[in-house]
A and B are shown apart, each in its own frame.
Chain A
Amino acid sequence: EIVLTQSPATLSLSPGERATLSCRASQSVGRYLAWYQQKSGQAPRLLIYETSNRATGIPARFSGSGSGTDFTLTISSLEPEDFAVYYCQHRSNLWTFGQGTKVEVK
Chain B
Amino acid sequence: EVQLLESGGGLVQPGGSLRLSCAASGFTFTTYAMSWVRQAPGKGLEWVSCISGDGSDPYYADSVKGRFTISRDNSKDTLYLQLNSLRAEDTAVYYCAKNVPPETSKWFDPWGQGTLVTVSS
Contact = CB atoms under 8 A, between A and B. Distances in A.
B-side interface mostly:
strand
Interface residues of A, number: 21
Interface in B105-121: 105-114
Interface stretch (B7-15, B24-32, B41-49, B74-82): B41-49
B61 A44 contact: no
Contacts of A89: 45, 107-108
Interface size class for chain B?
Answer: 20 to 34
A43 B112 contact: yes
25 contacts: A32-B106, A34-B106, A38-B45, A43-B111, A43-B113, A44-B37, A44-B108, A44-B111, A46-B109, A46-B110, A49-B106, A49-B107, A87-B44, A89-B45, A89-B108, A91-B106, A91-B107, A94-B47, A95-B35, A95-B108, A96-B47, A98-B44, A99-B44, A100-B44, A100-B45
Interface of A: 32, 34, 36, 38, 43-46, 49-50, 55, 87, 89, 91, 94-100
